[in-house]
Structure 1
Amino acid sequence: MPVPKGATALLGAGTLCAALLLSACASTAPPAPATPAAASTPPASDARPAGAAPGAGQGAGGPGEPANTLASAPVPAPRIPGIGPATQALVPDGTGQALVVTGSTADDSTSTATLYEKAPGGRWTAAAGPWPTHNALRGWTADHTAGDLRTPIGVFRLDDAGGRLPDPGSRLPYDQDPEFAISGTGLSGEPLEGSFDHVIAIDYNRVPGRSPLDKERPLGAEKGGGVWIHVDHGGPTQACITLEREPLRRLIRALDPAEEPVIVMGPASDLAG
């Protein structure tokens, strides 16, 4: 198994207050003789800037009440279910598909995966899953290093797929290669044969656009690499995420490069941040 990959002006209201105050003060003096100019002065209750529509600068409650600014408050963008604002901010604006893999605690080696898709209005809805998954033996880490037996936490692109078996209908580039063969036993003594029949490369410390087998590590070999989604073998991994065979094949067919798909993965408490 490969070594691990990871937010109006209130002039009208102010003018109104001044007009009302002057009216109140003037009411204590004897009334002045009416003049043509005085007769043409609009009532104080309708005081407003020249050319403004009636009620301009006033709140919905009427003259003298605070202006209603709720209508102009920004509306928060919809978030992926279970994902907090800090994690959502890491999801590219152009992304329309997100596989969310959530562990219960930082040390769990089992997790749950759900594929979410963004509707035209921007709302995220579940498109497939939830599916049971395995992750690394010792759980999760925000600072993955080679051999730590933890899966990197974060948001990563899903650009390339491959496997020992033929392409099941992937829209991602798919590399069929006999080098995806594996044998031996896993960390719990379970057989690993067939685990790489189908894989999706997680863009942690790799060069996107290449086969999952490519071994170039931009962050350096000490940061691990080869972090994939692959066929479940019944036990924990070194750093990868696993899915049962049919859910994995379904996921491979569902992912659309035009939607800039990502995987969002980590313990629930981290992803909710």
Structure 2
Amino acid sequence: MPVRKGTPALLSAGTLCAALLLTGCGSPAAPPAPAPTTAPAADTGPRPGSPGKAVASAPVPETRLPGVGPVTHASVPDGTSQALVVTGASADSTRSTATLYSRDPVGGWKRQAGPWPTHNALRGWTSDHTAGDLRTPIGVFRLGDAGGRLPDPGTRLPYDQDEQFAISGTGFAGEPLEGSFDHVIAIDYNRVPGRSPLDKERPLGAEKGGGVWIHVDHAGPTQACVTLEREELRELLRALDPAREPVVVMGPTTELAR
């Protein structure tokens, strides 16, 4: 929010007063006595632009997402005004943090929700994802489609409720996977936008992997996806607005800062 600028007070100088003395009549006029003057009042107040007088200025809008450098930010579409930033501590970390930001023309990018703790892939991150490498792709990807085994929690994204989202078995830490796909958001990595997250078409080829989602956390690392706790994922689903062309910006901190 812009800060109101203070207006320095300008003190006026004292007025100069002259006293006119009149001489008596009859005798030759004596030279008039010098007219006494009143000295100007001292001006001790600050003057506009004087050193030491701080003038408040409006904050500069944040033109880039916090923690995101110019190279990464260049991949954010011009029309995007909503971004989920997911950062890992290192290239091999399996835990990360997700924060949702929104942008307005005056204030720039501001935090909208989060930060939330997340899990990512078992072996961390990669900028060249391949099927089965157990790493989460690094980059900027659109978020446009959602779905799950459970009903739509109130998202504005297209939502596909389907029993095919049911899952069983155990994760890498021996944790149960049941319920992990109760709600999911498809990350537009090697998929056709506008389709259900269940769609199997892979434009880059099957060897580049796919099915990379944001889904319900199961208390352990994933094969390639990013996870959020159930209620936080539901909050994210309700917050995302397709009119704002939302994206996810994800990767280790050092990579995103480039």
**Normalising TM by the smaller chain, what interval?**
0.7 to 0.9
Secondary structure at 1:196's aligned position in 2?
coil
Structure 1: gaps of 5 or more residues: 1-74
Letter of the 1:268 counterpart: T
Q: Residue 66 of structure 1 aligns with which residue?
A: none
User: Does residue 91 of structure 1 match 2:91?
Assistant: no
Map Cα deviations across residues 60-98 of structure 1 (whole Å, 9 max, x no partner).
xxxxxxxxxxxxxxx997100000001110000000100
Map Cα deviations across residues 225-269 of structure 1 (whole Å, 9 max, x no partner).
000000000000000000000000000000000000000000000
Letter of the 1:152 counterpart: P
Map Cα deviations across residues 10-61 of structure 1 (whole Å, 9 max, x no partner).
xxxxxxxxxxxxxxxxxxxxxxxxxxxxxxxxxxxxxxxxxxxxxxxxxxxx
Letter of the 2:123 counterpart: R
CA distance in 1, matches of 2:215, 2:128: 22
CA distance in 1, matches of 2:105, 2:216: 32
Q: Residue 173 of structure 2 aligns with which residue?
A: 188
Map Cα deviations across residues 140-177 of structure 1 (whole Å, 9 max, x no partner).
00000000000000000000000000000010000000
Match of 2:213 among 225, 228, 233: 228
Percent identical residues: 80
Deviation of 1:203 (Å): 0.1
Q: Residue 234 of structure 2 aligns with which residue?
A: 249
Q: Residue 148 of structure 1 aligns with which residue?
A: 133
Question: Runs of 4 or more off by more than 2 Å in structure 1?
Answer: none
The structure whose Rg is larger is 2
Map Cα deviations across residues 89-123 of structure 1 (whole Å, 9 max, x no partner).
00000001000000000000000000000023261
CA distance in 2, matches of 1:128, 1:270: 23
Letter of the 2:99 counterpart: T
Instruction: Give the alignment's TM-score, normalised by structure 1.
Output: 0.72
CA distance in 2, matches of 1:93, 1:127: 19
Aligned residues: 199
Q: Residue 203 of structure 1 aligns with which residue?
A: 188
Secondary structure at 1:197's aligned position in 2?
coil
Letter of the 1:136 counterpart: A
1:1-273 residue pairs with structure 2 within 5 A? Answer: 78-121=63-106, 123-273=108-258
CA distance in 2, matches of 1:128, 1:176: 25
Say whether the 8 Å CA contact 2:144–2:186 is kept in structure 1.
Answer: yes
CA distance in 2, matches of 1:115, 1:166: 23
Name the structure where helix makes up a greater proportion of residues. 1
CA distance in 1, matches of 2:130, 2:237: 27
Secondary structure at 1:143's aligned position in 2?
coil
CA distance in 2, matches of 1:208, 1:105: 30
CA distance in 2, matches of 1:86, 1:271: 8
